[in-house]
Structure 1
Amino acid sequence: MSGRRTLERQQVWVYLAAIAGGLVLGSLQPDLGALLEALLWPVLAALLYTTFVQVPVLRVRDAFRDRRFVLAVLLGNFLLIPLVVGLVLPWLPDDPALRLGVALVLLVPCTDWFITFTQLGRGNTSLAIAVTPLNLLLQLLLLPVYLWLLLPAADLGTALRTEEILPAALGLLGLPLVAAALTEAWVEAKAERGIWRERLGRWTVPLLALVVFQVAGTQVGTVLHAGLVLLTVLPVFAGFLLVVPLLALGLTRWLRLPMDAGRTLAFSMGTRNSFVVLPFALALPAGWETTVVVVVFQSLVELFGMVFYLWWLPGRLFRSPPTWG
């Protein structure tokens, strides 16, 4: 466990090193791009499987034991944040690929390092684990609805072609999710099998590092030409990280949640599920590569934001118990 925790604490630098390595390799050996792209899909499927194994999908009913917290999570992640995204999108440059990337990555709450940062940030880990499968299932159901409401139909029709998106959804999301559910059932059948969930969890950070290495290597041209694009979305992603904890604080006070539950809510609203939407971004047709870069870039901004959260949330924003008067 200590090795896994150490790796999780240092994951920001691991991912930065992986991206830098991928950019260097892609620049020096552009012929390797096809090989990296071919290997990306099975590695991404393995990453999603190890991620989903950590999500107790078969225990989704456990989330409703604390109904006030569940209400706060549902309002925060699936009402307030879509409203924030809807307000932000019109102010972005009129670039459909950029807007789709921002929408994809900000509309889906995280299901993996959200739990890690909740634990590190003195949140309620039990609540985080309980609500994670609910977040996962709802985001998969609601994401198409949000995209349809927030983005022009013409852009969606061009980008999200059924013959390209369905294989990504079924193959890279459906199969790992079903495999993870079967694994969970097998693990929970006998107590001694619980070690396998921990063993699989150790692979999440290395696999994610390998994925961003491959993405950087295959998209090096797009990354190098996307400097202005990234400067455009950087304030959006940074502002998002500053605004959503304030929304979480408002929900915490309104629903009279304990401070540790409030921190958990803030981490849930602040972390996004970038590598669950990555298969959709990678399956987009030619000309939409910027969407992939935006999705990966958001995850890096978020990781630095989580370092800030670990100081800000427990030490400042959610420090003292509220007085309900």
Structure 2
Amino acid sequence: MLRGGVRVLITLLFAVAILTGSLLGIAGLELPIDPLILVLVGAIFFTLRLGSLRSLRRAPRTILVALATNFVLIPLIALPITLALPSEALRLGVLIYCLAPCTDWFLGFTRLAGGDTVAGAALIPLQMLIQLLMYPIWMMLFAGESVAWMPETAGSTLVQWFLVPAGIGIAAQLLVPRRWRRLAIDGVDAAVPFIIAVVIVAIFAGNVQTILADPASFAWVLLAVFVFFALTFALGEGLARVFRLDHASHALVTMTTSARNAPLMLAVTTIALPDQPLVHAAIILGMLIEFPHLTALTHLLRRREVRHVLAA
């Protein structure tokens, strides 16, 4: 469990990362994002206690709650929110952003919040496959666009963003001599907040200029995403009570319903709709609220966990 002082330091670390990335972006400097995300996913899988995989047999309910929330309930929240935006392009961009649950960094925040990373790891390929298969349906329903999205494309994406880093992380753990394995896992585990911080710096550095391009229009986007996150948090709190989720399951559901898959959706949408810069910009803008939101959630969930432990 993270001590109170460590929790505060991690929160400050992420706040500094947001500020640093914004300043770098204003100065026109960028960092590569994709390799950093792959490193994060690999590090998370390196830190998984493989013996705990047996606990997955108790996790189907948590996984089903997460999937139903992300792909059934959240679309019902996102659609009316986007109707208030001032242009069709912005509405489509925010909708694409809201509909796709994150398949990488949410696991890092789940780990920091004391959540169930074993069930979270099982969610990654499921959520990635579902959103890739649903993407052409979303385009047809909400944009009137016919998008050819072949199964082999979804398969190659799964390999690149999940199987490769996950395989490397697990293989690296198994290659460490048993007597050093716990020390190595603890070391990488301690490095995860710093890896997330670097990812945050890279994302803000690469995208903060988007806000400066059209602040009036994009203020509406930021407001819509803020409302979306407020409603999804309330939804997660309600589901935790209805299904009586323990802290680990509650933290996982909260993080997977809060983090969105903006980088993958941006890449896919750039291919599907290459001449729609406002759609692309709206997807990017969501991340500028997402990371402060995830940072606040991490702090809140950790404080709640400490209260539960002290009360027990």
Q: TM-score range by the shorter chain?
A: 0.7 to 0.9
The residue that corresponds to 1:32 in the other structure is: none
Shift of 1:107: 2.1
1:186 to 2:171 alignment:
yes
> 3-state DSSP class of the match of 2:260?
coil
5+ residue gaps, structure 2, are: none
| Cα distance in structure 2, aligned partners of 1:307 and 1:237 | 16
Quick one: which of 47, 54, 67 aligns to 2:36?
A: 47
Correspondence 1:29-48 to 2 at 5 A = 43-48=32-37
Q: What is the TM-score of this pair, normalised by structure 1? A: 0.70
| Cα distance in structure 2, aligned partners of 1:156 and 1:211 | 30
* Gap change, CA 1:86 and 1:226, over 3 Å in 2: same
Q: Percent identity?
A: 20
5+ residue gaps, structure 1, are: 27-35
Quick one: which of 198, 206, 209 aligns to 2:188?
A: 198
8 Å Cα contact 1:278-1:292 kept in structure 2:
yes
The residue that corresponds to 1:22 in the other structure is: 25
* Gap change, CA 1:150 and 1:191, over 3 Å in 2: same
Shift of 1:288: 2.0
1:246 to 2:234 alignment:
yes
8 Å Cα contact 1:259-1:319 kept in structure 2:
no
| Cα distance in structure 1, aligned partners of 2:54 and 2:100 | 20
Shift of 1:180: 1.0
Shift of 1:73: 1.6
The residue that corresponds to 1:31 in the other structure is: none
* Gap change, CA 1:48 and 1:104, over 3 Å in 2: farther
| Cα distance in structure 1, aligned partners of 2:303 and 2:131 | 34
The residue that corresponds to 1:268 in the other structure is: 256
Shift of 1:225: 3.1
The residue that corresponds to 2:91 in the other structure is: 99
* Alignment length (residue pairs): 293
| Cα distance in structure 2, aligned partners of 1:65 and 1:151 | 36
Shift of 1:154: 8.6
Correspondence 1:293-308 to 2 at 5 A = 293-308=281-296
Q: What is the TM-score of this pair, normalised by structure 2? A: 0.72
Instruction: Give a deviation string over 1:6-57, Cα, whole Å, max 9, x none.
Output: 567422332333233223337xxxxxxxxx6xxx7xx333123113214549
Quick one: which of 210, 220, 227 aligns to 2:215?
A: 227
1:177 to 2:162 alignment:
yes
8 Å Cα contact 1:46-1:176 kept in structure 2:
no
Quick one: which of 61, 75, 82 aligns to 1:68?
A: 61
Correspondence 1:119-198 to 2 at 5 A = 120-121=112-113, 124-125=114-115, 127=116, 129-152=117-140, 155=143, 157=145, 174-192=159-177, 195=184, 198=188
Shift of 1:183: 0.5
Instruction: Give a deviation string over 1:160-202, Cα, whole Å, max 9, x none.
Output: 5769xx98x7777643434213313422433448638928845
Structure 1 residue identity aligned to 2:101:
P
8 Å Cα contact 1:92-1:99 kept in structure 2:
yes
| Cα distance in structure 1, aligned partners of 2:144 and 2:163 | 27
8 Å Cα contact 2:128-2:158 kept in structure 1:
no
